[in-house]
Amino acid sequence: MQIWIDADACPNGIKEILFRAADRKKIITTLVANQPLKIPPSPFIKMRCVPKGFDVADNEIVEQVQAGDLVITSDIPLASDVLNKQANVLTPRGERYTLDTIKERLVMRDFMETMRASGVQSGGPAALSNKDKERFANQLGQLI
C-alpha cells in the first residue's frame, strides 16, 4: 500500500496526521501538488511537484495509483477515477468513498455546479473541526 495525497487542498492538520502515520507504519506517502510543499525529513514521505494546470495533479495521481493504495482527496471526480482502479479513498473529513457511494456524490456535485452557475450562492464547506480530524485519524487507522 502507498498513500497518495491530493495536496493542494489538503489541510495542514490532516497532512500532519498522515506524516506521523507514514513514519509509524513505514508507508510511502506522496504529496502531489503544483507547487513545492514543505515536508518533514523522512524516507517515507515524498513530494511530487507537477506543472500548473487544470487537473494535472489529479491526472498524476490517477496514473500512478495502484489497486489497494489509499488516496486522500475531497475531489469527487478524482475519487471516482481512483476507485475505478480499485484504490481506496478517504476525504480529509474522514469520509470513505466507495464505488457504491461515489455515483451519488457525482450527481450531487453536478447539481450543485448547475445551481452555482445559475447564481445560487451555496457557500463553501465548514472549517475543518477537531471532530473531523479525529474521524479522519480513526478511518485512516482502519485502512492502514
CA 136/CA 90 separation, integer angstroms? 8
Quick one: average pLDDT of 17-24? 98
> Confidence class of residue 117 from pLDDT cuts 50, 70 and 90?
confident
Query: Which of 13-17, 21-25, 40-44, 116-120 shows the lowest mean pLDDT across its residues?
Result: 116-120
DSSP 126: P
Residue pointed to by grid coordinates 480513526: 138
* pLDDT surpassing 80 at residue 105: no
**How much is the pTM?**
0.87
> Confidence class of residue 126 from pLDDT cuts 50, 70 and 90?
confident
pLDDT one-digit tens code per residue, 44-90: 999 999 999 999 999 999 999 999 999 999 999 999 999 999 999 99
Average pLDDT, rounded, for the chain: 91
Q: What is the pLDDT of residue 103?
A: 75
How many structural domains does the chain have? 1
What is the residue range of 62's domain?
A: 3-143
In degrees rounded to 5, what are phi and psi of residue 34?
A: -95, 15
* pLDDT surpassing 80 at residue 104: no
The CATH number covering residue 71 comes to 3.40.50
All three cell numbers of 82, joined, read 481512483
CA 19/CA 14 separation, integer angstroms? 9
Q: What is the pLDDT of residue 109?
A: 63
